Amino acid sequence: MRYEVRATTEEAGALLVLAERYGVSVPKLLIDSALAGGSQAAAASASEREAVLRQLLAAQRTLAGVGNNVNQIARRANIDGEIVADLLTTHARARELVGQIAELVTELRVMGR
């Protein structure tokens, strides 16, 4: 469904500033504000999404480091045919991170509803 909203130049500017601050579009900001009980609640919701995104990015960086460790282990295994004891630890950490990322993605989906 489509709705039309009229705003003054000042109101439009203020909405754009708020939307940019929270990383959402103006229509999304308006909908979240109305459904969440006002702009403060919408801002809190946007802040929560931002926090989850930061956690997701941190997990992604850590997972990239784990991938680097796996590459180093594979390189060593190719050189001398041995698998380093760190492999089990690295594998366990990778599985843990994948689980954390899945939880964060689910949390973001729920927030987006």
What's the whole-model pTM score? 0.48
Q: What is the pLDDT of residues 48-95, one digit of tens each?
A: 777 888 888 888 888 888 888 888 877 877 787 777 667 778 778 888
Burial 35-59 (b: 16+ CB within 10 A, else e): eeeebeebbebbeebeebeebbeeb
pLDDT, position 13: 93
pLDDT band at residue 112 using 50, 70 and 90 as cut-offs? low
pLDDT, position 94: 84
pLDDT, position 92: 83
State percent of the chain over pLDDT 90. 4
Q: Give the phi and the psi of residue 110 in degrees, each rounded to 5.
A: -65, -40
